[in-house]
């Protein structure tokens, strides 16, 4: 016979496992959404122009480049 404490511990472990799986799934969904958004933006400006923008962003401070691009978008 399983005690109340053991049942509660098992339920808590199952909930933690489910939470970890849901966090992993959320991270995957966020990554997919970011990839879709990037693809949409590349289509807007064209692949060559997007590459040029990214190369310039590397030369400048990346955060400043992202802020500037966000203001333009």
23-52 tens-digit pLDDT: 999 999 999 999 999 889 889 888 888 888
Q: Where are the domains of the chain?
A: 4-72
How far apart CA 56 and CA 16 sit, in angstroms, is: 44
Estimate the crossing angle of helix 47-59 against helix 4-45, to 10 degrees.
110
How far apart CA 28 and CA 25 sit, in angstroms, is: 5
Is the pTM above the cut of 0.75?
Answer: no
pLDDT digits (tens, 9 = 90+) for 6-18: 999 999 999 999 9
């Amino acid at each position: 016979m399983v005690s109340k404490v053991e049942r509660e511990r098992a339920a808590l472990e199952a909930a933690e496992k489910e939470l970890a799986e849901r966090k992993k799934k959320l991270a995957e969904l966020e990554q997919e959404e970011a990839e879709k958004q990037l693809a949409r933006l590349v289509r807007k400006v064209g692949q060559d122009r997007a590459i040029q923008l990214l190369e310039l962003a590397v030369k400048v401070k990346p955060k400043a480049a992202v802020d500037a691009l966000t203001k333009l978008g």
